[in-house]
Amino acid sequence: MKITIEAADAADLKARPDDNNLGFGKYFTDHMFVMTYDQGQGWHNARIVPYADFTLDPAAMVLHYGQAIFEGLKAYRDSDDRVRLFRPLDNLKRMNRSAVRMCMPEIDPGAVLETLKELVRLDAAWVPRAGGASLYIRPTMVATEAGLGVRPAARYLFFIILSPVGAYYPEGFSPVKIFVSDKYVRAVRGGVGEVKTAGNYAASIMAAMEAREHGYTQVLWLDAVERKYIEEIGTSNIFFRFADELVTPPLSGSILPGITRDSVIKMADDWGIRVSQRPISIDEVIAANDSGSLKEIFATGTAAVISPVGALSYRGNEYVINGGSTGDLAVRLFDELQGIQYGIRPDPHGWGMVI
Ligand code: COI
């Protein structure tokens, strides 16, 4: 892919925030990658430019019918001061699966990875040095053709922006309290729950707000048909440790195939832990908590990394999980995953990529 690079003037470079107080998604770097798609022409005009506003026609189809997909991955600074990506091609390939489902054009994952590396190298000074902090990378595609007919657009914009981030949840690695929703549902099989499209996140906000009003950090979604089987937590996948079995819901069409989820399954498997991908009912979780066989619950995601769950609220009752503490397996997985991501531990699966 031919790209042009227009670097920002030195005088226009932004002041960088304090690495120890980044929050999540509040700051954006000096540059972005942009390319345009036109039907009949394909992707063209690929360029790295100073970070700036877009101009969009008010009839741009994304603003009306929501053809919008995105990804989230991270760059980490290792102890040799190099920058590393974690499984970047997996994200770009997943983006193509989202594109197919949303009738949007696919990208060339290898070529986009090269431009992504170029962009991160240009803004490498923004990759934080503080422990637990990283540079969040947000590839996004939206329909920009002006038109009000409901059909696939003929014009799209693909862009990548970068944001230095700390922990996603204010609790950091401390256990979060989760509200089980049986009033709202996130997705149904045959819908778009298994792809990373903007509308899934818009649809989740009301339940998240209600959870917050009740004093909980996020929502645990149940299946849309029986409102009984566990699906996801907020914007993350979920794992349960029942005695010596690690369990996560199967990829049955309504949950996102998380890359951290896949990494956790592979790490646990490498350690000889029995991992099952099977349906788990909320009743099974409560019964196992009552009997003591539920040892821990944690969420996984690029933004959330591994987030332990300390309490669940369901139908007016609060269930404390593992005494409200972080479980041993969550700690072990967190240390291993972050160790690989920051290049401190061996990387047997070749997930890290120094750029
Ligand atoms: C991620 O974990 O990268 C996500 O996409 C979650 C995000 C909505 C904050």
pLDDT tier at 235 (50, 70, 90 boundaries)?
confident
Ligand 1 centre distance from Cα of residue 178 (Å): 17
72 lines ligand 1 (CB under 6 A): yes
Q: Whose CA is nearest to atom 9 of ligand 1?
A: 303
Q: Is 217 helix (H, G, I), strand (E, B) or coil?
A: coil
Atom index in ligand 1 nearest the CA of residue 136 equals 3
Is residue 302 in contact with ligand 1, taking CB distance under 6 Å? yes
Same fold yes or no, 3-165 and 176-343:
no
Question: What's the rounded mean pLDDT across residues 104-115?
Answer: 98
pTM over 0.85: yes
**Rounded to 10 degrees, what is the CA torsion of 331, 95, 37, 42?**
130
Is the CATH number of domain 3-165 3.30.470.10? yes
Nearest-5° Cα angle at 32, 143 to 72: 70
> Ligand 1 centroid vs 72 CA: distance in angstroms?
6
Which of 73, 90, 235, 306 for mutating ligand 1's site (highest number of atoms within 8 Å of CB)? Answer: 235
In short, whether 34's Cβ falls inside 6 Å of ligand 1 is no
* Cβ of 165 less than 6 Å from ligand 1: no
State the average pLDDT over residues 94-114.
Answer: 98
Average pLDDT, the chain: 95
The residue nearest atom 8 of ligand 1, judged by CA position, is 235
State residue 12's pLDDT score: 94
User: Rounded to whole angstroms, how far apart are CA atoms 22 and 167?
Assistant: 8
Please indicate whether residue 237, judged by its CB atom, sits closer than 6 Å to ligand 1: no
Helix (H) or strand (E) holding 33: strand 31-38
259 lines ligand 1 (CB under 6 A): no
Number of Cβ within a 10 Å radius of residue 237: 25
Q: Where are the domains of the chain?
A: 3-165, 176-343
The owner of tokens 């760059």 is 75
Contact 100, 106 (CB under 8 A): yes
Atom of ligand 1 nearest to the CA of 260: 2
CA 9 to ligand 1 centroid distance, Å: 31
* DSSP state for residue 115 in the 8-state scheme: H
3-class DSSP state of 113: helix
pLDDT at 234: 87
Mean pLDDT value across residues 211-237: 94
CA dihedral over 271, 274, 280, 285, signed as positive or negative: negative
Q: Which atom of ligand 1 is nearest to the CA of 303?
A: 2
The fraction of the chain above a pLDDT of 90, given in percent, is 94
User: Using CA atoms, how far apart are residues 354 and 30, in angstroms rounded to an integer?
Assistant: 21
pLDDT at site 1:
84
Distance 292 CA to ligand 1 centre (A): 32
Work out the burial of residue 256: count CB atoms within 10 Å of its CB; fewer than 13 is exposed, 13-18 middle, 19 or more buried: buried
Rounded Cα–Cα distance for residues 34 and 158 (Å): 6
Q: In terms of Cα–Cα distance, which of 7, 55, 63 is closest to 32?
A: 7
Q: How far apart are CA 337 and CA 292, in angstroms?
A: 27
Pure H helices in the chain: 61-65, 88-101, 109-122, 198-213, 259-270, 282-291, 328-341
Q: Are strands 274-277 and 218-222 parallel, antiparallel or unpaired?
A: unpaired
Q: How far apart are CA 73 and CA 127, in angstroms?
A: 13
Alpha-carbon dihedral sign for residues 76, 79, 82, 88: negative
Answer whether 235 contacts ligand 1 (Cβ < 6 A): yes
- Per residue in 176-205, pLDDT tens? 999 999 899 999 999 999 999 999 999 999
Describe the crossing of helices 259-270 and 328-341 by its angle, rounded to 10 degrees. 110
**323 bridge partner residues:** none
Q: Which residue has the higher pLDDT, 303 or 282?
A: 282
Residue with tokens 């039907």: 39
Look-up of token digits 């509200």: 179
- Residue type at position 335: D
| Domain 176-343: top CATH class | alpha beta
Residue 291 has pLDDT above 80, yes or no: yes
